[in-house]
């Protein structure tokens, strides 16, 4: 009898927890004074077309309305009344297939899922740490549908290649994510831990050929900064440049290099198949689905990730600029984008419009200082 009463009480508690959980999961509608893009508003506010002045991206207005497309179709949300879906995006990818192209595809797929994009295509312009791609992109005129994926690999690559190009001569649209690197070795390697590798490199910095992306790019930066944490001169490392993750993996499997560094997820299938082994990841906490300790968990105080963002041509009109940043602002709070972030182990790190420009104005001198300190 006591057992039945106990089980009955537990059932009631469980039911209550579910009710409370579902209630807390449904956010209360926000008034105009606290409106944010995608937040719930009331049907009454939608019926009257209530406006939240200046609370959208770059000081634009948000309007309470019934969303007509995408994941929130039929719901009352704080939204951009005047936003128009993009007909097409012509992507410039400043590298071979890899992180940049994956990002462009993820953005395009998310926009399409939310009814904000008709079609997309990509042109690859690899070389010189992104300088070739940026140069080609900055020649584009009169094409508001043009866009380019950029990131820390490009800002570092421009410095290391002594390029005279200025990323800010294009139009910043948004920083949208941060991705973290992983360090791997072949499964047959003598290195079982990150410490074993770094101890070996401390004794002889060129003891292992380290395969990574472009000179001055995120991979080069991460391994250089990690070397500094272990009191190793980063300029003495045997860093072998490849165009991206696929080539890094090929070099490791062929035995031409002994250590690889790239986006952590690039290596996951090969670790799962037993061909490669993780030694560590550059994130602040372990990454979902990747069995690897962080650098900090192993005693090396380094958290360092690759941000990526979107640039538009320099001659983009104000109207097209405002529409583009509104489209991306909607995308970044969408379920479709959340699914891409989860799938790729990316952090949702958003700064749109003027906020992205401000970020770049601060970041570019900072990354130049990092590169100088690494001797790159």
Dump pLDDT digits (tens) for 176-217. 999 999 999 999 999 999 999 999 999 999 999 999 998 899
| Confidence class for position 376, pLDDT limits 50, 70, 90 | confident
Residue 17 pLDDT > 90, yes or no? Answer: no
Average pLDDT, the chain: 92
CATH 3.40.190.10-classified regions of the chain: 179-298
Q: Residue 132 in contact with residue 125, Cβ under 8 Å?
A: yes
Query: Token digits for 318?
Result: 């104000």
Query: Token digits for 337?
Result: 């984008």
Nearest CA-CA partner of 276 in 306, 248, 240, 304: 248
| Confidence class for position 21, pLDDT limits 50, 70, 90 | very low
Task: Report the pLDDT value the prediction gives residue 25, as an integer from 0 to 100.
Answer: 46
Query: Token digits for 195?
Result: 């410490």
Question: Looking at residues 141-168, what average pLDDT do you find?
Answer: 96
Q: Residue 133 in contact with residue 148, Cβ under 8 Å?
A: yes
CATH 3.40.190.150-classified regions of the chain: 86-178+305-374
Question: Looking at residues 320-324, what average pLDDT do you find?
Answer: 98
| Confidence class for position 26, pLDDT limits 50, 70, 90 | low
Rounded-to-integer distance, Cα 271 and Cα 249, Å: 11
Task: Report the pLDDT value the prediction gives residue 27, as an integer from 0 to 100.
Answer: 75
- Dihedral (C-alpha) 107, 111, 117, 120: value to the nearest 10 degrees? 20
Q: Would you give the DSSP letter of residue 376?
A: -
- CB proximity list for 62: less than 8 A, separation 6 or greater: 35, 36, 37, 51, 52, 55, 56, 78, 79, 80
Residue 47 pLDDT > 70, yes or no? Answer: yes
Query: Token digits for 301?
Result: 């105080």
Rounded-to-integer distance, Cα 116 and Cα 328, Å: 9
pLDDT tens for each residue of 325-368? 999 999 999 999 999 999 999 999 999 999 999 999 999 999 99
Task: Report the pLDDT value the prediction gives residue 39, as an integer from 0 to 100.
Answer: 98
Domain 86-178+305-374, CATH = 3.40.190.150
CATH 3.40.50.300 applies to domain 179-298: no
Residue 282 pLDDT > 80, yes or no? Answer: yes
Residue 3 pLDDT > 80, yes or no? Answer: no
Residue 373 pLDDT > 80, yes or no? Answer: yes
pTM value is 0.86
């Amino acid at each position: 009898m006591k057992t039945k009463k106990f089980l009955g009480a537990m059932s009631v508690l469980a039911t209550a927890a579910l009710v409370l959980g579902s209630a807390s999961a449904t956010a209360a509608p926000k008034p105009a004074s606290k409106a944010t893009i995608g937040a719930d508003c009331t049907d009454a506010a939608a019926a009257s077309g209530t406006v939240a002045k200046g609370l959208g991206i770059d000081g634009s207005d948000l309007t309470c309305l019934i969303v007509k497309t995408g994941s929130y179709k039929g719901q009352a949300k704080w939204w951009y009344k005047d936003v128009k879906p993009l007909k097409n995006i012509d992507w410039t990818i400043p590298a071979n297939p890899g992180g940049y192209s994956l990002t462009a595809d993820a953005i395009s797929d998310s926009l399409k899922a939310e009814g904000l994009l008709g079609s997309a295509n990509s042109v690859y312009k690899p070389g010189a740490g992104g300088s070739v791609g940026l140069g080609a992109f900055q020649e584009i005129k009169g094409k508001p549908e043009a866009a380019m994926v950029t990131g820390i690999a490009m800002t570092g690559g421009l410095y290391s290649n002594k390029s005279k190009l200025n990323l800010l001569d294009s139009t910043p649209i948004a920083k949208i994510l941060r991705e973290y690197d992983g360090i791997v070795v072949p499964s047959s390697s003598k290195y079982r831990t990150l410490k074993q590798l770094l101890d070996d490199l401390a004794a002889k910095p060129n003891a292992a050929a380290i395969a990574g992306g472009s000179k001055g790019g995120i991979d080069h930066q991460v391994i250089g900064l990690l070397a500094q944490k272990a009191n190793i001169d980063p300029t003495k490392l045997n860093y072998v440049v490849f165009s991206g993750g696929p080539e890094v993996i090929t070099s490791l499997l062929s035995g031409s290099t002994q250590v690889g560094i790239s986006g952590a997820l690039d290596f996951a299938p090969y670790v799962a198949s037993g061909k490669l082994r993780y030694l560590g990841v550059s994130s602040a906490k372990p990454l979902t689905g990747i069995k690897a300790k962080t650098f900090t968990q192993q005693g090396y105080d380094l958290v360092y990730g690759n941000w990526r963002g979107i640039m538009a041509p320099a001659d983009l009109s104000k109207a097209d600029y405002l529409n583009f940043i509104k489209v991306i602002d909607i995308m970044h709070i969408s379920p479709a984008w959340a699914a891409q972030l989860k799938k790729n182990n990316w952090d949702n790190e958003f700064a749109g419009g003027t906020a992205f420009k401000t970020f770049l104005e601060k970041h570019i001198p900072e990354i130049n200082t990092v590169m100088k300190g690494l001797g790159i």
